[in-house]
C-alpha cells in the first residue's frame, strides 16, 4: 500500500494537531481535566493512531475504514473545540488554528478515502 504511515503527510499533520491540542488543553479549567479535556485528548490521539493502524492492515478496504474512523475523530474534536468556546473556556481566536488544522486533515482523509473507494 505504499508509504509507511510515518511518511504520510496526513499522519504528520495529525501528530502536530495532537501536540497543539495538548498545549491548548492546559488552558481549560481544572474541573474539566477528567471530562471534556480527557475526551478531547482521546479524540486528538485517535486521529493519527487510526491512520497508523489502518495503514498497517492488509487491505485498502481496511485502511479506508480506519481513515473513516480518523475522519470521525476529527469531527468529534472540532465539535469539542466549539463546545469549549460556547462554554467560555476558550476564545474563538484560540481555537481558530486547531479548527483550520482539523478541516485540512479532514479534507486529506476524505480524499484518501475517496481514492480507495474508486
> Could you give phi then psi for residue 87, rounded to 5 degrees?
-85, -5
Q: Which residue has the cell 478515502?
A: 113
pTM of the model: 0.94
CATH assignment at residue 101: 1.20.1440.60
- Structural domain containing residue 36: 5-117
User: How far is 54 from 36, CA to CA, in rounded Å?
Assistant: 27
The x, y and z cell numbers of residue 83, run together, are 463546545
Question: Along the 118 residues of the chain, how does pLDDT read in single tens digits?
Answer: 556 999 999 999 999 999 999 999 999 998 887 899 999 999 999 999 999 999 999 899 999 999 999 999 999 999 999 999 999 999 999 999 999 999 999 999 999 999 988 7
The number of folded domains in the chain is 1
Amino acid at each position: 500500500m505504499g508509504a509507511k504511515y510515518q511518511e504520510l503527510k496526513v499522519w504528520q499533520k495529525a501528530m502536530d494537531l495532537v501536540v497543539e491540542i495538548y498545549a491548548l488543553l492546559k488552558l481549560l479549567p481544572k474541573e474539566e481535566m477528567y471530562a471534556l479535556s480527557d475526551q478531547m485528548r482521546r479524540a486528538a490521539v485517535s486521529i493519527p493512531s487510526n491512520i497508523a493502524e489502518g495503514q498497517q492492515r492488509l487491505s485498502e478496504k481496511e485502511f479506508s475504514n480506519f481513515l473513516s474512523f480518523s475522519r470521525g475523530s476529527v469531527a468529534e474534536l472540532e465539535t469539542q473545540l466549539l463546545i469549549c468556546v460556547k462554554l467560555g473556556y476558550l476564545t474563538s481566536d484560540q481555537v481558530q488554528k486547531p479548527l483550520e488544522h482539523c478541516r485540512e486533515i479532514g479534507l486529506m482523509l476524505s480524499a484518501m478515502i475517496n481514492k480507495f473507494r474508486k
